[in-house]
Amino acid sequence: MAPTTTAINLTEESRLFAGGGVQLVIRRWCPGRQGDLFVALDDGPLVEMIGEGFSGSRDSYHVTVAGRDGDRHDLDVTPERVKYDDMILTQIPAPAAVDYVPLPHIRQPLRLLVDRDRGTVLFVSTDRFYGTVYDQDRFFIGEAFNADGVAQLRRIDLHDVEMFRDGGTTVYETSRGTLHLPAPMTMRSYGLTNTWTANGEIKREVSELNLDRFDVEENAESATVTFRRDVTDLPEATFASQPQVSASRVRRAR
């Protein structure tokens, strides 16, 4: 069965390139968000890609682009040429609109933390493909894991997310409080810890849990986190579990 396609209008800055069996549509220069970049291979349909790992300037830049199968490609753009992996592409006239296969919406766990004294569990997720913008993030909170290793969490309002340019320090402002997650280097240099400050309460230390040790099911309102007793070769909590967040996720950098 042919994949379902969606029509999208191209903007004035949109460009269409072709060469070596590849068609590439850059809808916005410096692509990094939903609806910015589409690639077609060997006369196949245009498929949406997401830009990540951007470096350079508006006129000359490199960006790694990712697709639904987890495949990644290098896109190099200069005023003189466009290179997709090893193929040099030539600009050709672009239509007013194109049909493309959109990326699916799949939830991706980001952070799982626990207050070991009170038992409070905090969980953050994003969209696997569209998570380059923070409005795709969700924040959940709940009580301690029960005797079966299960925690029931409920979603709360996430007002703002801020990531600092120190290697990943991230602050989540929610309706229930503030989660502050220092970057690993900042933690080591200044002896800081992850903290959760509930509204009207003092700051409390929270420990990051290794997401590989847990199964997570979520919907728009709640999440269930279950400890995987079958996984015995990984620690329950690990400093290295802090995910790497690409620069494209920066909303306000400091």
Q: What is the pTM of this model?
A: 0.74
My answer on whether 86 and 119 are in the same domain is no
| 15 occurs within a structural domain | yes
How far is Cα 28 from Cα 81, in angstroms, rounded to an integer?
A: 16
My answer on whether 241 and 147 are in the same domain is yes
pLDDT at 125: 95
**Cα angle at 54 between 181 and 240, to 5 degrees?**
35
My answer on whether 128 and 204 are in the same domain is yes
| 63 occurs within a structural domain | yes
My answer on whether 153 and 191 are in the same domain is yes
Which residue, 66, 101, 136, sits at the end of a domain? 101
Token couple for 81: 């040429």
User: Which residues partner with 82 through β-bridges?
Assistant: 77, 89
My answer on whether 84 and 183 are in the same domain is no
| 24 occurs within a structural domain | yes
My answer on whether 24 and 66 are in the same domain is yes
My answer on whether 211 and 151 are in the same domain is yes
My answer on whether 155 and 82 are in the same domain is no
pLDDT at 242: 38
CA distances from 117 to 64, 142, 236 (A): 42, 14, 16
My answer on whether 122 and 185 are in the same domain is yes
Which residue, 80, 101, 122, sits at the end of a domain? 101
- Report how many domains make up the chain: 2
How far is Cα 23 from Cα 94, in angstroms, rounded to an integer?
A: 11
pLDDT at 123: 98
My answer on whether 19 and 67 are in the same domain is yes
Tens digit of pLDDT at every position of the chain (254 positions): 667 889 999 988 899 999 989 999 998 776 666 778 889 988 889 999 887 777 888 778 898 888 877 788 999 988 878 999 999 999 999 999 999 998 888 899 999 999 999 999 999 999 877 666 667 899 999 999 999 999 999 999 999 999 887 778 999 999 999 999 999 888 888 888 999 999 999 999 999 999 999 999 999 999 999 998 887 666 665 433 333 333 344 443 33
| 30 occurs within a structural domain | yes
| 244 occurs within a structural domain | yes
| 1 occurs within a structural domain | no
Nearest to 252 by CA among 190, 182, 163, 188: 163
Which residue, 51, 85, 101, sits at the end of a domain? 101
Task: Give the domain range for residue 36.
Answer: 6-101
My answer on whether 150 and 226 are in the same domain is yes
